[in-house]
C-alpha cells in the first residue's frame, strides 16, 4: 500500500496525461470535418466543392448549338478541329447571356502568327509563314477566311 502512497505523485502526473488526452479527444471529435474519411484520408466534401467551381470556357459543343452557320464553314476546312475558344477566348459569360455579353473583336495580325509564324522549333508538317515575306503586311483575312483558311482563289479544299 505504501508503495502506492509514495508513488502518488506519479499518478498525479499520469492523471494530467489522461486529462489532456480526454480534452484532446473531445476537441478532435468537434473539430474534424464530418466528411473527413468518407473516401480516404481527406475531407470528402472537398471533391464536391472543387467540382462546383464555375467554368470560363463554355466548350465548343455549347458554341455550336447556336453558331451552326460557322460550324458549316469550319467543318470542311483546315480549321475544323480548332475549337472556337482557341481563338475567340473564354466565352462562358457570352453563352450565359448572349444578348449583353459580346465576344471581343479579334486581331488576326496577332492571332494568326501565334500559331503560324515560322520557327525551326515547330513540327515540320505544320503550315508556317514569315509574315513580312508572306503578305508584305496585308491583314491575313484579305486572302484567308479564318474559319476555313485555304485560299478561295487557289480553290478551297
Partner 1 sequence: MSGVEGFMYPNEIELHWSVLIVLYPYITGLVAGAFILASLERVFNVEAVKPTYRLALLTALSFLLVAPLPLQLHLGHPERSPEMYFTPHSTSAMAMFGYVYLWYLMAVLVFEIWLDYRRDIVLLSQKTKGMTRWIYTIMTLGSSNISKRSLHIDERVGWVVTLVGIPSAFLLHGYVGFIFGSIKANPWWSSPLMPVVFIFSAMVSGIAGVMVIYMATTKLRGRKIDMRCVDTIAMYLFYTFIIDFSLEMLDLIHRIYEADESFRSLDFMVHSKLFFSQIVLQIGLGTLVPLILLGLTQVAKLPELARKRIYSFAGALTLIGIFAMRWNVVIGGQLFSKSFLGYTTYKMSLVTKEGLIVAVGLTLLPLGILWVLVKLLPPWPEDHATQGAAAD
Partner 2 sequence: MNISRRQMLILLPAAAVAWKSVLAGTPESSPNYKMSEHWWSMLIDISKCIGCGNCVRACQTENDVPDGYFRTWVERYHVSDENMTNPEVISPDGGKEGFPEAKEDGGKYFYVPKLCNQCADSPCTQVCPVGATFVTPDGAVLVDQTYCLGCAYCVQACPYGCRYIHPQKKVVDKCTLCYHRITKGLTTACCEACPTGARQLADLKNPNDPIHAFLKTHSVQVLKPQMATGAKVFYNDLDGSVR
Candidate residues 36, 77, 78, 150; the one interacting with partner 1 per rule CB under 8 A: 36
Place of cell 475544323: 80
In contact, 108 and 139? CB cutoff 8 Å: yes
Q: Does 46 bind partner 2 (CB under 8 A)?
A: yes
Q: Does 122 bind partner 2 (CB under 8 A)?
A: yes
**Which span sits near partner 2 by CB under 8 A: 9-17, 23-31, 41-49, 135-143?**
41-49
Of the candidates 88, 84, 86, the residue with the CA atom closest to the CA atom of residue 75 = 84
Each residue 5-24 as x (binds partner 1 by CB under 8 A) or -, in order, gives xxxxxx-xx--xx------x
Neighbours of 157 (CB within 10 A): 9
Helices then strands, counting H and E runs in the chain, come out as 9, 0
Positions that interact with partner 1 (CB under 8 A): 2-3, 5-10, 12-13, 16-17, 24, 27-28, 31-32, 36, 41
Amino acid at each position: 500500500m505504501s508503495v502506492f502512497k509514495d508513488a502518488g505523485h506519479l499518478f498525479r502526473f499520469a492523471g494530467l496525461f489522461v486529462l489532456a488526452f480526454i480534452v484532446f479527444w473531445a476537441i478532435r471529435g468537434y473539430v474534424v470535418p464530418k466528411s473527413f474519411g468518407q473516401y480516404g484520408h481527406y475531407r470528402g466534401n472537398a471533391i464536391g466543392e472543387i467540382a462546383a467551381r464555375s467554368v470560363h470556357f463554355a466548350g465548343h459543343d455549347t458554341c455550336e448549338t447556336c453558331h451552326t452557320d460557322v460550324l458549316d464553314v469550319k467543318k470542311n476546312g483546315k480549321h475544323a478541329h480548332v475549337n472556337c475558344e482557341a481563338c475567340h477566348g473564354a466565352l462562358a459569360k457570352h453563352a450565359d447571356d448572349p444578348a449583353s455579353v459580346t465576344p471581343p473583336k479579334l486581331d488576326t495580325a496577332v492571332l494568326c502568327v501565334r500559331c503560324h509564324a515560322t520557327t525551326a522549333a515547330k513540327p515540320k508538317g505544320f503550315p508556317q509563314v514569315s509574315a513580312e515575306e508572306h503578305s508584305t503586311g496585308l491583314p491575313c483575312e484579305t486572302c484567308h477566311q479564318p474559319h476555313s483558311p485555304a485560299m478561295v482563289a487557289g480553290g478551297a479544299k
